[in-house]
Amino acid sequence: MPFEITRVGTPADLAAALAVRTRVFVEEQHVPVEEEIDHHDAEPWTRSDVLHVIGRLDGTVIATARLLLETHDGGYPHIGRVAVLAEHRGHGYGRALMRALQDEARALGFLGVTLAAQTHAVPFYEGLGYVARGPVYLDAGIEHRDMDMLL
Ligand code: COA
């Protein structure tokens, strides 16, 4: 079975997405759970301001990401919480997730997307066409840099 990306549309999908994020961000990267899970994660299937996706491999959810559609000053929507389970990295699944969210943003009429990259992941995003902007800063104790891409 190939890698399959779908929107988070049920409580079970959301639980699977949050389980991936808990393994990656809370357990692996030591982000406090109260910072990792936020109001954008509440029943996303009922809302139009956020879009979560999950990636399944052989039926098991191994990856997730989300797109925040609430923009300010005509800005770009924000991709975040991009996570692939450690044992499944390096097979193109992260890139596939990013492209799925970029396609969603493009279909909604946005001209670009933005994100806050952990500095170790800057080359991953550069490979997709993102360009870094501004200085490095700390968020949840982790170095980040803002990046943008035109769609
Ligand atoms: N540094 C440099 N290049 C990287 C990279 C990294 N950390 N991670 C991936 N790449 C490159 C790959 O080599 C590949 O390039 P290639 O096509 O030339 O071989 C390309 O980016 C796509 O990689 P892919 O296999 O799709 O990435 P992935 O499935 O391993 O997912 C992350 C990448 C960042 C999502 C994954 O490493 C992850 O979940 N990390 C922990 C969570 C995290 O830090 N998320 C980002 C928060 S900003």
Q: Which of 48, 47, 41 is nearest to 17 (CA)?
A: 41
Write the CATH number for 74. Answer: 3.40.630.30
Q: What does the pLDDT average to over 4-9?
A: 98
Rounded to 5 degrees, φ, ψ at 98 are: -60, -45
Give the model confidence (pLDDT) of 59-98 as tens digits: 999 999 999 998 876 789 999 999 999 999 999 999 999 9
Residue nearest to atom 37 of ligand 1 (CA): 89
Residues with CB under 6 A from ligand 1: 24, 82-84, 89-95, 117-118, 120-121, 123-124, 127
pLDDT at 124: 98
Count: domains in the chain: 1
| Model confidence, pTM | 0.96
Residue nearest to atom 31 of ligand 1 (CA): 94
Residue 143 pLDDT exceeds 90:
yes
Q: What span, in angstroms and rounded, lies between the C-alpha atoms of 14 and 10?
A: 6
Range of the domain at 141: 4-150
Give the model confidence (pLDDT) of 10-34 as tens digits: 999 999 999 999 999 999 999 999 9
Name the strand (E) or helix (H) holding 36: helix 33-36
Please give the share of the chain, as a percent, with pLDDT higher than 90.
Answer: 92
Terminal CA-CA length for the chain: 30
